Chain A
Amino acid sequence: MTRILKFVMLAAALIAMLAVDMSFVLENNLPIPFKRDLHAQLEQLVPNAEAILGVRRRTRRRTAVVVGSAAAASTAAAQQQAYEAQQQAAAAQQQIAAQQPVAASSQPIIPVGSAVKTLPGNCKAVPVNNTSYSDCGGVFYQQAYQGSNLVYVVVAKPI
């Protein structure tokens, strides 16, 4: 009887100590591995610095859709789905892409709305209704500002 009691009390003591330490760690922003994930979830929901632009910019930048090259665009779309907030939008984009594939079947399908910093090679300028598009092997891009960055956005084939 006392042996069991001893064991239970010791276990309780250890758990209590751990719980107390944990709350201390969380309150003080100590670098523990799971803190990162916790924060990644939270920052989507609670931008805690309305006036301090720098922090907001950083949050936004981490979740930006821009990717380095056209080839990586499809992977980025997959990663994008991981973000809960953008999940629906990404799904919608993929549906659009599935309905009207913008690339030839031999190439990876790049969803409409993806943004790349530089155009792939072999593009030609296609002006349609005073708007300039770039036709890169059947994938059409339109230049745009994403924030203050110049990017090329994949669009449906202009008529």
Chain B
Amino acid sequence: MITTTPGKLIAFCVLALCALSFPPRDSLAQQTAIDPVALEKLRAMTDYLGSLQSFSVHTHNTLEELLDSGNRVDVDVSADIIVSRPDKLQATRSGDLVDQHFFYDGATLTLFNPTDQVYATEPAPPTIEEMLDLARESLGLDIPAADLIYGNAYELLTRELDLAMVVGASVIGGIRCDHLLFSRPGVDFQLWIGAEGTPLPYKYVVTDTGFYNRLSIGTVMSEWNTAPQTDNTLFRFEPPEATRRINFMPL
């Protein structure tokens, strides 16, 4: 015979409460969808960009920063980039008090500040990909939108994805684009890829979701040129007179 003691009743209530207070897993599971159409569009873009022997693009980068006061400010830097695969890259940055040239000719990389008349040169590996790794990991340098320049960008971008979706249609700088959203642990990124003609990226926003303030870095790309001038002299740095050579601080 079953007896109902207060103890048993409470125990039942405890179990019921535990069951009720679990988060709604099903609704979370719905968000972890990978839309193959979004992946296809991403693949089309990275394949196309990877297939280009050379290209140049104007980028406008907005970096969200947090002041110590907690207020958010944006720092804007524009950069013109010329890439010639497999081993040449040149970038010119101008913006909030930045006037800087970056040269990579397959043997060395150089950072040059014309206003301050200083430059630093380091030996560099023989491919753009290895050079970007070195610049980022050993020197603390970032080339705007470098994520997309990598030859294996698709593999890098789709690693650990738990969300890939087409947000919708959009127009960036007069170009009709597909707006895509991808998510992986700690990072969300959005891409706007040309919907008609060549699948070039026109906007790229990376959001740090691992930190509660969710700061982003955004890049708007324009003036794509898939057949730019790629004179070797463009990528080689000749120090003008009166410039001084300095060093990179090790990280």
Q: How far is the CB of B29 from chain A (nearest CB, A)?
A: 13
Of B12-20, B165-173, B229-237, the one touching chain A: B12-20
Given contacts A2-B6, A13-B13, A51-B159, contact A39 B21 (CB under 8 A): no
Instruction: Determine whether the beta carbon of B116 is less than 8 Å from that of A58.
Output: no
CA distance A56 to B166 in the complex (A): 26
Rounded to whole Å, the gap between the CB of A123 and the closest CB of chain B is: 15
Contacting pair B249 A151 (CB below 8 A): yes
Interface code B1-36, partner A: CB below 8 Å = 1, 0 otherwise? Answer: 000011100110110011001110000000000000
Residues of B within 8 Å of A12, CB to CB, are: 14
Instruction: Give the complex CA separation of A39 and B232 in angstroms.
Output: 45
B246 touching A144 by the CB < 8 A rule? yes
The main secondary structure of chain B at its interface with chain A is mixed
Which residues of B lie under 8 Å from residue A36 when comparing CB positions? 211-212
Contact status of A5 and B21, CB under 8 A, knowing A56-B136, A60-B140, A145-B246:
no
Query: Which residue of chain B has the shortest Cβ distance to A35 in the bound complex?
Result: B212
Contact A51-B247, Cβ < 8 Å, known A9-B14, A36-B212, A146-B140: no
Q: Are B210 and A29 in contact (CB under 8 A)?
A: yes
Partner of B210, one of A5, A6, A17, A48: A48
Q: Are B209 and A153 neighbours in the complex by a CB distance under 8 Å?
A: no
Which A residue's beta carbon lies closest to that of B146? A53
**B217 / chain A contacts, CB cutoff of 8 Å:** 54, 57-58
Say which one of B47-55, B82-90, B179-187, B193-201 lies at the interface with A: B179-187
Q: B40: shortest Cβ distance to chain A, in Å?
A: 19
Chain A residue nearest to B208 (CB atoms) is A55
* Residue in A closest to B153 when the chains form the complex, CB atoms: A51
| B23–A24 CB distance below 8 A | yes
Identify which of B6, B63, B211, B251 gathers the most chain A CB atoms within 10 Å of its CB: B211
Interface of A: prevailing SS: helix
Contact A53 B17, beta carbon cutoff 8 Å: no
Q: Does A147 contact B (CB under 8 A)?
A: yes
Please determine whether B246 and A148 come into contact, CB atoms closer than 8 angstroms: no
Q: How many residues of A contact B (CB 8 A)?
A: 45
Judge whether A9 and B212 touch: CB under 8 Å.
no
Q: Judging by beta carbons under 8 Å apart, are B147 and A51 in contact? A: yes
Q: How far is the CA of A10 from the CA of B14 in the complex (A)?
A: 7
Q: For chain A, residues 132 to 154, give those with C-beta under 8 angstroms from any C-beta of chain B.
A: 132, 142-148, 150-151, 153
Q: Which residues of B contact A2 (CB under 8 A)?
A: 5-7
A143 to B245, CA, bound (A): 9
Q: A16 interface residue, CB < 8 Å from B? A: yes
How far apart are the CA atoms of A27 and B28 in the complex, in Å? 11
Q: Is the CB of B210 within 8 A of A53?
A: no
Is residue A115 within 8 Å, beta carbon to beta carbon, of the partner chain?
yes
Tell me if B18 and A16 are in contact (CB < 8 A): yes
* Other-chain residue from B11, B21, B142, B248 in contact with A9 (beta carbon distance below 8 A): B11
Q: Given A36-B212, A55-B186, A57-B217 in contact, is the A146-B249 Cβ separation under 8 Å?
A: yes
Does B72 belong to the interface (CB within 8 Å)? no
Does A49 count as interface, using CB distance less than 8 angstroms? Answer: yes
A121 at interface (Cβ–Cβ under 8 A)?
no
A21 lies within 8 A of chain B by Cβ: yes
By a CB distance below 8 angstroms, the chain B residues around A58 are 208, 211, 215, 217
**Besides A54-B208, A144-B246, A145-B249, 20 new A-B residue pairs in contact (Cβ under 8 A), listed by A number:** A5-B10, A6-B10, A10-B10, A13-B18, A21-B21, A24-B23, A29-B209, A35-B212, A50-B159, A52-B157, A52-B189, A53-B136, A55-B186, A55-B187, A55-B210, A58-B208, A60-B140, A142-B247, A145-B248, A147-B140
